[in-house]
A and B are shown apart, each in its own frame.
Chain A
Amino acid sequence: MTSTLTISHLTKSFGGVDALSDVSLSVASGERVALLGHNGAGKSTMMKIILGLIASDSGDISVCGASPGDASARSQVAYLPENAAFHSALTGLEQITFYMRLRGVDPKGALDLLARVGLADAARRRIGTYSKGMRQRVGLAQALIGQPRLLVLDEPTSGLDPVSRRDFYELLDGLAADGAAILLSSHALTEVEARTDRLLILSGGRMVAEGSLTDLRSEAALPVALHVTAMNGYTPDLMAAFPNAIQTGRGLYLTCPQQDKLATLARISEMRGKVADLEVIPPSLEDIYSHFSRRDGQ
């Protein structure tokens, strides 16, 4: 796979404060990559540098084989800003028609494009009358114009209801299948978990983790939680066997390191006459995310 976006050793500071330090990453064609991080971790700054809106202090960036902000890069990159804003006096159709003309795309497809994001009925109404979610969809529609090779989406699903979010990720799947590279930032960890190929975690301007969720999970080596429910009256027996467990009503809550998971399970199954139920709870994405973003002294 060819790399559509390559960043190496990117550094940017604002007035002496490092917004990004020595960040390297690449996004390949057809790949969906999620960028995670706290507010102020440097996500938006990095996106603006990729788009050529602000200049980097040092480091090399290649966007579709060009420098960020070059005419050729801009013609192949689509951007969805956080809180997409448009002129309130224009209709959705006029706004999209304008963006299509700027990209040299026949504006006849404007209505179809708005229909793809679920705005067919509102196309001829002024954007001033739209809800936040509808404005976000206008933003999404403009990012789909002209088959971009790289999509840079800054919190694309903020303001969207759960159904629209699902529709949105389906659109992304289609784009990625057609070979577009997608870099998106999000706070909604559970949704990027299922819908992206790779996660990047930025913390305090540094890249603290990178990989698939499985990779990150094993790298973090967070303890596994087990919830054991005792048969009637056997709770004290179980507590005696697992003195470190926390008792929760009839059940026990215990944790163990990843490598001891099977051994612990074996010990529990030895007591199968006393155990009513067993649940294994792997560390959640939130746990993994907190682990990586705190590791850096955040």
Chain B
Amino acid sequence: MRGRRAPLALAVVLLTTFVACSTKRSPSIVDPKGSEAHTIAGVWWLMFGLATAVYVIVGGFIIVAAVRGRGTKEGRPSRVRDNTFVWVGGIIVPAVILVVLGAATVHASNSLRKPETNPLRIEVVGKRWWWAVSYPDQKFDTANEVHIPVGRPIEIGLDSDNVIHSFWVPQLGGKVDLIPGQHNVWRFKATKEGTFRGECAEYCGLEHAKMNFLVVAQSAASFDTWALRHQQPQSEPASQLAANGQVVFMRAPCAGCHTIRGTTAHGTIGPDLTDIGSRLTLGANTVPNTEGYLSGWIVNSQTIKPGNLMPPIPLSSNDLQALVAYLRSLK
């Protein structure tokens, strides 16, 4: 009957879309770039096989059973006893499959999130609606962008001082919640270089949708240079314009909410801006970090990210120009 073709055809169509979509563009969990994501993708493909089998077979049973009796008066008899159906289809076969799934669960979860020697420790604190990132051993802070060396064990400590958030980088692994009053740790390894989209996966209020971030997995060498640069104190503004910008920054309310290492700006309400010039995005991965967007953000971030906790800040065009120049000079 038609009932069979409808869903199956549909499934085929959508599965092809699936393959089509799972290009590099999507932060896809079946495009793993990290140890945990690899293992889980493995579990998935196993389950996908089983599930397809179960669906096709059981679905087939449903259709056949439905049409079997057609044209007969009392329905077609069958040697299979009712209880045999129930026992075999409903208990024995599923039980076997479930044992497999159970084994997969135990095996996978035991191999994942285990402490390892000499990990790189990173502290991430969930804010509304952005991420404060710090490297306790290297002693520097940044925001909305996590740099990690490929191959080295990573240990990300996750905390929140407000509501619950959840740290998710689909291509690297599963989620771990950031829960106020509880310190969670996520341990994993990146296996490939690349820049991966991260998201807040626990509903955290108004701008939950725009609380994203980037994880930059790079070679050990380039990571070290990156980290080293961040450990240096900020060099004095190069250009005159930038120097004026710094003055503006300290005069305008900025400094009250933002920190720039090596200056008098120690605000903690907003992201650390010490390296804002070298970051890829603004507003927790809401817009790319271009000159235009930056000035747009400063003048009125509410148009870009309605309801975020940074107020619009009216500045004369000169001040703004200087300020932007200054911020972009911060590498």
Q: Answer yes or no: are A and B bound together in one complex.
A: no
Chain B residues within CB distance 8 Å of chain A: none
Chain A residues within CB distance 8 Å of chain B: none
